[in-house]
Chains A and B, each alone.
Chain A
Amino acid sequence: MSDRTDGQIVEEALDDIDNYKYIVERYEQRLLLYIKRILYVNNEDAQDILQEVFIKAYRNLNSYNPKYKFSNWIYRITHNEAVNFLRKNKNLRKNIPNDPNIDIFETVPSHIDIEKESIEESRKDEILSVISKLDKKYRDVLILRYLEEKDYNEISEILHISSGTVGSLISRGKVKLKSLLEKYGKD
C-alpha cells in the first residue's frame, strides 16, 4: 500500500471500509502531532480528537477533490475539528498562558531564527512554546509554516484563506514572534 497515492487509497476506501485503515495509518502520527501543536493538549485528548477527525474524514470522503492534495484536505478537517474542540472546551484556552513572563522564555534563546526554512527538530518545541503566546491567527499560520513545513499554497488550502493573507499573517506573526523573543528570550 505504501506505493499507492492517497487518491487511489481514497477510491479503494470508498469501495471497502477496511482500506480506510491505510489512510489512517499514513496520517495518524502527523495529525496527532499537529493537534498537539495547535491545541496544547495531552496525548489522550489528542487521540480522541484524531479519531473524530478520521470519522469525519470518512463521512466526507466523497467531498475530497483529487485535483488537490489529500494531505491538505485532511489537515483542513483536523484544523476544523481542533477549532470545534476549542469551542466546546473553552476552559482549555486558559491553559495556553498569555503572560509573556512565563518560564518558557527562560530556556528559549532570543536569537532563534524562525526565518530559517527548516527548523531543527530540537528547536521545534521551543519555537512552539513561544508561538503559543501569539494570537491564534498568527499561531495557526506559523505552526503550519515552520513546524508542519507547509508552503503558502498548502496553508491557504488548509485554512481556507488566500495565499496573500497567508503571506501577510506569516510576515506579521514573525515580527511579533521576534519582538517577543528579543524582549523576553534568554540572551
Chain B
Amino acid sequence: MAIKIKKNSDFTYLGVADLIDEKEKNRADDIYKTSEIEFNRLNQSLKNKKDISSLEFWHSIGRLANKIILDFGISDFEKKYFWLMLYDFSGKKAPDRALKFHIQNDFHIASMIAKYNLKDLRKTGPWATWHEIIGSTKTMKDERVGRWAVEYIINNQIKTRNNVRPILKFARNRLKNLNTLVLSDSELFSKLDEIKK
C-alpha cells in the first residue's frame, strides 16, 4: 500500500512498509495518473466558471478527492500521503506544517467539508472560516472531532467566524492532553457534548 509523490522533480513511493513491491507501485502509479488527469480537468473547468467562491472551489476539489479515495480504496494510513500528493497538481507547494506534521492540508480539509451540503456550509461562512474550523491540530488528527464541530455548527445554525471560535476553543480545551484516538465514538462525543451543559 503506497502513494507516489514528486520530491525535488523525482518520484518517490511512500507507504506502510519501507519495502514497496511492484504491485503496490503499479497501484500508486494508477492513483497518481488518475488524480492528475481528474484534478487537471476539474481545475480547468473551475477556472472557466465565473464568480466561483473559494468554498465552492474547495468543495468540488474535496468531492473529487473523496471519489478517488473510494475508487481506489485508499486506506486511512495512506491518506496522509494522498493529501500531500494532491499538491503535485495544484501548482502550489505543500505548507511546511502539512509536510512535516500532516496537518493543515487544504485537500484534507476540502475532503472533510465535501461530505456536507454546500448550501449548509455557506450559511456558516466562507472557505476561510471552514479552514479554521477543520484545520486545527486536534481536528486533523482525529476526523471525528472535525465531524462533531461541523455538525454542531450546522445543526445550531451558527454563523460568522466570531461565533464559531468559542466552540473551537471549547473543543481544544476539553481535549487538551487527550489522545482522542483511544476513545470510542460515544466516549469522545460525550466529552464534546459537555458544551451543552
Interaction A to B? no
B: which residues have CB within 8 A of A?
none
A: which residues have CB within 8 A of B?
none
